[in-house]
Amino acid sequence: MHTFRQRFLVTQTVTLVVAMFGALTGFLVGRNILLKDAEARLEQFATRVLTETEMSATESRAVLGRMNASPYPSCSDAEVDYFRKLIFHSEYLKDGGRIRDGQIDCSATLGRLDQPRARYQPDFSRPDGTRIYRNLSPFQIAGQTVISVQLGGSFVVYSPFTLRRLESPSMHYTVTDVGGVQSGHLTGELPPTGESILYREGDARLGDTLYATRCAGRFFSCMTTYASIPETLRVRQRELVAFILIGGLCGAVVGLLISVFYIRREGIEQKLRRAIAKDALRVVYQPIVDLSSRRIIGAEALARWTDEDELVVDPDVFIKIAEQRGFVGAITKLVVKHVLHDFAETLRSSPDFHISVNIAAADLSDPTFVPMLEESLAQAGVKPQGVAIEITESYTARRQVAMDAILRLRRSGHSVHIDDFGTGYSSLSYLQDLSVDAIKIDRSFTRAIGTEAVTVAILPQILAMAEALKLQVIVEGIETREQAGYFSALSQPILAQGWLFGRAVAAEELRRLLTENWILSANTMQA
């Protein structure tokens, strides 16, 4: 038995382990959701940068066009004044003027420049005739990249702050020139990779960085927005922690439930083992009647267990536990012992009467089972014909094992019945191979009588098949006269079991019923 300390330890360990697993799952799920969200934001950011760049480029082209079409003498006061007005009304430009052979002649903010002047080389020359200069010295701002564009004899200078205002703490951008031979970085911060993602549209996750690139072919540039994964997660640390906590909490609850279930199950198993050792299981007997004469011709032995806490445990539950834990054979043994104790004399004196015993799959493959049965019967002086063996249909799935066991049992003189027939594995030919004596039609078929259920349509086929194979038919679960009537109308002999004829009762009660001239009382029949 588990001590309190052991239970506490099991609960604590399982809860902790599953909680940790939950927290890890929470972290992974949270990380994935946050990164997906970051990717979506990055794409939006890239689209915004692209829109802004396109708008500023469109404006600069328009302004350059108007500058080149200036009606004033080059760099005259009137022209410089004209340029000032154009720049003043622009949204994205901070200066503009005249440039010749890389030398600035005049601009809206600088006015007319005198000799000597610096000569600048464009950083990029594009197929449409535009030339791009990065950081022309008169317009330099520390820490910023200032772009100037020349078209014809005019140039404009972009304000470097247009795109910067779109930035967020975890999202950065870079603009790449893709127009000419010397393509490359135009403005923005340089990302950790110089990969091809900067030159083509698309999204990517490279190393620790997320990228989204949108290109404006018309202006020969691509905008790449990027975010470092650790930085993104750091910025959204609170949300990530929330995911971890929720995952951990869910894990702890699941862990707690698992350990409670485990302890309870372990508890039941130990209690059941003790009950078997102390012979504390009871066996009750449900009558099986001949439907035409309504005489009791046999009974099914059914195990019953009320645990130490006075709780009645369903046989479906405790038989399953015993099967899973490998000690169901002990229950079969116990039931056989009870049957012989309760009915050896009746069986000896009434050769037409039999008791059916349910056996488990494990008994079929246990080589000691048949010898044990024979020895017990021999000791009690009961012939094997007095004890029928019920094998649940699903247990016969291991065909060869089932066939061998059935053969051995029948050779010994037992009648073998396939229990819960129609619920699983037996096909017609399979049934022939198994060579059994009877089928017990599952109570789901009986329940379907008088309803529209498809199972009713199968019943005549099962009955015809049983008749053709000369198999005895026992119908389970007859509760109503309508159900009994359905089977009594058949020409073939039917044995029946169900609450209409009697529930499972203690041995003394069955013996009393048997002594009542082997026939069920009229009262019971009319109930």
Q: Which stretch binds ligand C2E (CB under 6 A): 10-18, 153-161, 193-201, 473-481?
A: 473-481
Tokens of 334: 């116990």
Q: Which stretch binds ligand C2E (CB under 6 A): 101-109, 218-226, 352-360, 512-520?
A: 352-360
With CB under 5 to 8 Å by kind, the binding choice for 178 among ligand C2E, Mg ion, none is none
* Nearest-approach distance from CB 356 to Mg ion, in angstroms: 7
At 174, give phi and psi (nearest 5°). Answer: -145, 145
For residue 494, give the 3-state DSSP assignment: strand
With CB under 5 to 8 Å by kind, the binding choice for 33 among Mg ion, ligand C2E, none is none
* Nearest-approach distance from CB 269 to ligand C2E, in angstroms: 16
Site string for ligand C2E, 429-468 (x = CB under 6 A): --------------x-------------------------
* Nearest-approach distance from CB 345 to ligand C2E, in angstroms: 21
Scanning the structure block, which residue is given the tokens 């699983």? 424
In the complex with Mg ion, the residue whose CB is nearer, 79 or 419, is 419
Q: Which stretch binds ligand C2E (CB under 6 A): 70-78, 178-186, 199-207, 474-482?
A: 474-482
- Residue pair 383/411 in contact by the 8 Å Cβ criterion: no
Scanning the structure block, which residue is given the tokens 């259920």? 453
Tokens of 398: 């291991």
d(CA 42, CA 163): 14
Does position 499 interact with ligand C2E (CB under 6 A)? The reply is yes
Does position 479 interact with ligand C2E (CB under 6 A)? The reply is yes
Residue selected from 358, 396, 483, 497 as contacting Mg ion according to rule CB under 5 A: 358
* Nearest-approach distance from CB 471 to ligand C2E, in angstroms: 17
In the complex with ligand C2E, the residue whose CB is nearer, 37 or 279, is 279
Does position 336 interact with ligand C2E (CB under 6 A)? The reply is no
* Nearest-approach distance from CB 271 to Mg ion, in angstroms: 24
Does position 215 interact with ligand C2E (CB under 6 A)? The reply is no
Closest by CA position to 514, among listed 346, 363, 341: 346
* Nearest-approach distance from CB 335 to ligand C2E, in angstroms: 4
Three-state SS string across 84-141, please?
HHHHHHCCCEEEEEEEECCEEEEECCCEECCCCCCCCCCCEECCCCCEEEECCHHHCC
Within 8 A by CB and 6+ apart from 194, the residues are none
Does position 496 interact with ligand C2E (CB under 6 A)? The reply is no
Number of residues that bind ligand C2E (CB under 6 A): 24
For the chain, what's the residue count? 527
Does position 105 interact with Mg ion (CB under 5 A)? The reply is no
* Nearest-approach distance from CB 355 to ligand C2E, in angstroms: 11
Q: Which of residues 401-420 bind ligand C2E (CB under 6 A)?
A: 419-420
- Residue pair 473/439 in contact by the 8 Å Cβ criterion: yes
Q: Which stretch binds Mg ion (CB under 5 A): 168-176, 354-362, 445-453, 502-510?
A: 354-362
In the complex with ligand C2E, the residue whose CB is nearer, 6 or 521, is 521
At 194, give phi and psi (nearest 5°). Answer: -105, 35
Scanning the structure block, which residue is given the tokens 């094998």? 391
Does position 39 interact with ligand C2E (CB under 6 A)? The reply is no
Sheet holding 124-125, edge to edge: 111-112, 103-107, 93-100, 154-158, 147-151, 131-134, 124-125
With CB under 5 to 8 Å by kind, the binding choice for 360 among Mg ion, ligand C2E, none is ligand C2E
- What letters, b where the CB count within 10 A reaches 16 and e where it falls short, cover 117-144? eeebebbbbbeeebbbbbbbebbeeeee
Residue selected from 159, 224, 346, 392 as contacting ligand C2E according to rule CB under 6 A: 392
| Whole-Å CA distances, 463 to 149, 467, 490, 492 | 95, 6, 9, 9
Q: Which of residues 278-307 bind ligand C2E (CB under 6 A)?
A: 286, 302-303
Does position 477 interact with ligand C2E (CB under 6 A)? The reply is yes
Does position 498 interact with ligand C2E (CB under 6 A)? The reply is yes
* Nearest-approach distance from CB 262 to ligand C2E, in angstroms: 24
> What residue spans of 278-382 are helical by DSSP H?
315-324, 328-349, 361-364, 369-380
Closest by CA position to 201, among listed 184, 213, 188, 216: 213
In the complex with ligand C2E, the residue whose CB is nearer, 244 or 449, is 449
* Nearest-approach distance from CB 282 to ligand C2E, in angstroms: 10
Q: Which residues pair with 7 in a beta bridge?
A: none
Three-state SS string across 39-80, please?
HHHHHHHHHHHHHHHHHHHHHHHHHHHHHHCCCCCCCCHHHH
Q: In the chain, what is the greatest distance between 2 CA atoms, to the nearest angstrom?
A: 138
Does position 101 interact with ligand C2E (CB under 6 A)? The reply is no
Does position 419 interact with Mg ion (CB under 5 A)? The reply is yes
> Interface with ligand C2E by CB under 6 A: which residues?
286, 302-303, 315-316, 319, 331-332, 335, 358-360, 390, 392, 419-420, 443, 477-479, 497-499, 504
| Contacts to Mg ion by CB under 5 A | 358, 390, 419-420, 476
